[in-house]
A = this chain, B = another copy of it.
Amino acid sequence: MNATLGVALIGAGSIGSVHAANLASGRIAGARLVAVADAIESAALALAGEHRIDAAYADSERALGDGAVDAVVIATPAATHGDLIRAAATAGKHIFTEKPLDISLERIDAALAVVVSSGVKLQIGFHRRFDASFLHARNSVAAGRVGEPYVMHIISRDPVWRVPPKIGGLSGLLFDTTIHDFDMARFVLGEVESLYAVGTPAVHKAGVPDTLVVNLKFQNGALGTIENGQAVFGYDQRLEVFGSLAVVTVDNQQRDTTSVIDDAGSHQPLPPTFYPERYAAAYVAELQAFIDCIRDGGEPRATGADGRAATVIGLAAQRSLDEGRPVAVNEIVA
């Protein structure tokens, strides 16, 4: 292990660029970006150049073979994650992977087996677990502040954009966006027992759901709802847990704290535009925590088991959408 951990980025797309910038800027103590790999070599070269990194690779294997690399950040398409994790773990590299862990339970299980046997760290990019507000809410629930939890509510809406309609034959919305909400539901209230999902192509009228409501039943008896969609007013990221003693809420941020009252009413600014603004601090915090785990030997806050569980819920939601009925999570087996 190098004194400063060398990190390779695999996948130079939009979220990959966020991680690269954090690693290259010195904001992550104890780690530095040392390589960028992307199947599109020009993309790897461009991003590496932007951060004055020499090592730009057109395939991930060269990154995994690079002795300066102690850990990888995987930000490639979802269906490639499992195999890349397996390869990285085999190469003895610690792994931070973007969500979902994968969309195939077979690939996930094969990957997790190698992670365990190789002893590398694996952290899933569920960055909301590192957001000050969501973490505060979760810790309040864990500390008993709401008493017995009765009902959870998550609202999670992107700005208007084209979510990939399908990911490996599955709903792009479910596995690109809702996957975060499934994780947040588990993070705050524990295991999901069953769910019922309904979706509509409300925004884009493009045949696939871009607007979704998912009803949840938790193993602890609590109920829950997830609302996904796309909003013209920015990035809508809220949560509410209602229980026997209190309700705890995470509300949207506003771009600044100004307010104007004129003869038409009171007016305040919009929420942040999208994830790079809203979760800027969380992206730093999750990578820092990953690096700290490698150095200090702790357990990641978002483990391989967490990643697998979110994918299982996603597959149950897919089945509910397909069959128009409530689905028990334990119907989904590898």
- The answer to whether A270 has its CB under 8 Å from any CB of chain B is yes
Which single residue of chain B is at the shortest CB-CB distance from A224? Answer: B213
Q: Which of A39-47, A110-118, A162-170, A242-250 contacts B (4 or more CB under 8 A)?
A: A242-250
- The answer to whether A198 has its CB under 8 Å from any CB of chain B is yes
- Pick from B27, B136, B213, B222: contact of A258, CB below 8 A: B136
CA distance A215 to B170 in the complex (A): 23
Contacts of A257 in B (CB 8 A): 133, 250-253
Nearest CB on B from A321, distance (A): 12
Cβ B244 vs Cβ A261 within 8 A: no
CA distance A138 to B182 in the complex (A): 32
Give the interface size class of chain A. Answer: 35 or more
Contacts of A198 in B (CB 8 A): 196, 215, 217, 223
CA distance A229 to B256 in the complex (A): 24
- The answer to whether A62 has its CB under 8 Å from any CB of chain B is no
Nearest CB on B from A207, distance (A): 14
CA distance A217 to B263 in the complex (A): 26
Nearest CB on B from A52, distance (A): 11
Q: Answer whether A267 and B270 are a contact pair too, CB < 8 Å, given A133-B257, A198-B223, A258-B248.
A: no
Nearest CB on B from A214, distance (A): 9
Cβ B269 vs Cβ A267 within 8 A: no
- Pick from B25, B133, B236: contact of A256, CB below 8 A: B133
Contacts of A37 in B (CB 8 A): none
Contacts of A250 in B (CB 8 A): 256-258
CA distance A148 to B229 in the complex (A): 13
Interface residues in A225-248 by Cβ distance below 8 A to B read: 225, 227, 229, 231-233, 236, 242, 244-248
Contacts of A140 in B (CB 8 A): 258, 260
The CB with the most chain B CB atoms within 10 A, among A136, A153, A256, A261, is that of: A261
Cβ A245 vs Cβ B232 within 8 A: yes
Nearest CB on B from A15, distance (A): 21
Contacts of A150 in B (CB 8 A): 200, 202-203, 211, 229
- The answer to whether A14 has its CB under 8 Å from any CB of chain B is no
CA distance A22 to B221 in the complex (A): 42
Cβ B151 vs Cβ A263 within 8 A: no
Nearest CB on B from A239, distance (A): 9
CA distance A231 to B255 in the complex (A): 25
Q: Answer whether A246 and B232 are a contact pair too, CB < 8 Å, given A148-B202, A215-B213, A325-B325.
A: yes
- The answer to whether A309 has its CB under 8 Å from any CB of chain B is no
The CB with the most chain B CB atoms within 10 A, among A145, A250, A263, is that of: A263
Cβ A245 vs Cβ B223 within 8 A: no
Q: Can you report 17 residue pairs joining A to B where beta carbons are below 8 Å apart?
A: A25-B25, A133-B257, A150-B229, A151-B213, A196-B326, A202-B221, A203-B244, A231-B247, A232-B246, A246-B263, A248-B258, A248-B259, A264-B267, A265-B269, A266-B267, A266-B270, A325-B326
